[in-house]
Amino acid sequence: METTATILHADLDAFYASVEQLLDPSLRGKPIAVGGGVVLAASYEARAFGVRGGMPGRKARELCPQLIFVGGNFGDYQRLGDAAIKVLDDFTPLVERISIDEAFADVAGCTHLFGSPQEIAQTIRRRVRAELGLPISIGVARTKHLAKIASQVAKPDGLVVVEPGSEIAFLHDLPVGLMWGVGPATRARLAEIGVETIGQLARTHSGALTRLLGPAAGEKLAALSWNRDPRKLETKRRARSAGAQSALGRKPATADIYVPTLLHLADRVASRLRAKARPGRTVTVRVRFADLSAVTRSITLDQPISATTMLAEIAGDLVRGVLADHRQEKTISLLAISVSHLEESAELQLELPLGLADEKRRPGTRKGLARFGADRAIDKIRERFGKQAVGYGTVALEAARSVPDEFRELAEKEL
Please state the residue numbers annotated as binding site for Mg(2+): 11, 101
Integer CA distances (angstroms), 347 to 260, 281, 327, 358, 360, in order: 31, 13, 41, 20, 18
Give the helix, strand, coil percentages of the chain, each rounded to 5.
Answer: 45, 20, 35
Among the listed residues 270, 308, 278, 274, the one whose alpha carbon sits nearest the alpha carbon of residue 394: 308
Cα torsion at 34, 39, 45, 47 (round to 10°)? -150
Report cis status (omega within 30 of 0) of the bond before 117: no
- Pair 8, 140: CB distance under 8 Å: yes
Angle, vertex CA 216, rays to CA 212 and CA 222, nearest 5: 70
Among the listed residues 45, 13, 49, the one whose alpha carbon sits nearest the alpha carbon of residue 32: 45
* List of E strands, 317-404: 331-342
Q: Please state, as a whole number, how many other Cβ atoms lie within 10 Å of the Cβ of residue 376.
A: 13
Q: CA 30 to CA 300: how far, in whole Å?
A: 49
* Phi, psi at 40, each rounded to 5°: -85, -35
Within 13 Å, how many C-alpha atoms sit on residue 33's CB side?
A: 30
* Phi, psi at 220, each rounded to 5°: -65, -50
DSSP helix/strand/coil, 348? coil
Q: CA 212 to CA 192: how far, in whole Å?
A: 10
| Active site residues per annotation | 102
> Which sign, positive or negative, has the C-alpha torsion 406, 408, 413, 415?
negative
Radius of gyration of the chain (CA): 23
| Length of the chain as a residue count | 415
- Pair 331, 253: CB distance under 8 Å: yes
Q: CA 271 to CA 320: how far, in whole Å?
A: 24
